[in-house]
A = this chain, B = another copy of it.
Amino acid sequence: MNDAVEGDGPHKGSASLSSSQQDYLKQIFLLNDTARGATTQLLAERIGVRPASVTGMLKRLAEEGLVERAPYRAVHLTETGRRIAVEIVRHHRLLEAFLSQTLGYRWDEVHEEAEALEHVISERFEQKVAELLADPDRDPHGDPIPTRELALEEDQHLRTLALLPKGSRGTIRRVTLQDQDALNLVERLDLLPGRTIEVAGTHPDGISLLAAGSRFLVPALLAAHLLVDVAPHPSSAPPKKREGAGRPVAHEQ
């Protein structure tokens, strides 16, 4: 069977690739600026297949000039591959914003639907949605939406909550999680993008937080995935030395 959508256009657009290929490219892209890089195993986990399948697909993608790889090494995207990957990330995040804002999806419901739709919508759909939402630059999780020209803003000033010293204050801007349970917890704790918080203390198993008057513990695993826009520290509270393991933050979408 040929899952690939028609339209083997001149520019090798994402439209000529199967959903599966698109997912591989997207995950390679998302893992690329991560500590370990896009390894066979991580890709297998993210995509939900066995490592052997990843090896097979990477070979095919390499043949098509979308990735560059050396056996036993992490893969990298070619420029063409990267363009397609970013295109899909744009679809995904734009769709999440759309589902949330226009269709009234709950915060934790958007991801799954976008995961399937991202491969199917046309450029026209993308365009119309972008218009309708007036070119949003963030999805509901705070992830930046690549522009129409596929430029992707980097969140250089954001810092992982897990690494903030006691006394830090700031605003949660991104939640880089996709696990349903984790998302539900974030919602129950009201730690959605926009929420202002203050670090009340650090512990080996998490971060004690002050937000909206109450104080509670954010598990370390969760804190590693909350990116905070740190407020310029008030002169009265000098920054403390940070602590906690610098576990790499893996983004989804």
Where the two chains meet, the residues of A that have a C-beta atom closer than 8 Å to any C-beta of B are 1, 3, 5, 20, 99, 102-105, 109, 112-113, 116-117, 119-122, 124-125, 128-129, 132
> Knowing A3-B1, A3-B3 touch, does A124 contact B102 (C-beta < 8 A)?
no
Name the CB-closest residue of B to A112. Answer: B122
Contacts of A99 in B (CB 8 A): 125
Cα(A116)–Cα(B121), bound, Å:
8
Query: In the bound complex, do residue B102 and residue A102 qualify as a contact, i.e. CB atoms below 8 Å apart?
Result: yes
The one of B5, B104, B128 in contact with A103, judged by C-beta atoms closer than 8 angstroms, is: B128
- A120 and B125: CB pair below 8 A? no
Give the copy number.
2
Is B103 touching A129 in the complex (CB atoms < 8 A)?
yes
B1, A20: Cβ atoms closer than 8 Å = yes
Residues in chain B near residue A129, CB distance under 8 A:
103
Chain B: CB-nearest residue to A122: B113
Contact for A128 among B1, B5, B105, B132, CB less than 8 A? B105
Does the CB pair B117–A103 fall under 8 Å?
A: no
Whole-angstrom distance between the alpha carbons of A187 and B22 in the complex? 36
A105 to B113, CA, bound (A): 22
How far is it, in angstroms, between the C-alpha of A79 and the C-alpha of B116 when the chains are bound? 28
* Chain B residue with Cβ nearest A104: B128
B122 touches A120 (CB 8 A): no
Q: Which residues of B contact A5 (CB under 8 A)?
A: 116
* CB<8 Å pairs between A and B, sample of 20: A1-B3, A1-B20, A5-B116, A102-B132, A103-B125, A103-B128, A103-B129, A103-B132, A105-B124, A105-B128, A109-B124, A112-B122, A113-B124, A113-B125, A116-B120, A116-B122, A117-B117, A117-B120, A117-B121, A119-B120
What is the CA–CA distance of A202 and B16 in the complex, to the nearest angstrom? 47
Chain B residues within an 8 Å CB radius of A112: 122
Residues in chain B near residue A121, CB distance under 8 A = 113, 117
Instruction: Give Cα A125–Cα B104 distance, bound, in whole angstroms.
Output: 10
Chain B residues whose CB sits within 8 angstroms of the CB of A20 once the complex forms: 1
| Contact partners of A109 in chain B: CB under 8 A | 124
List the B residue with the shortest CB-CB distance to A18. B1
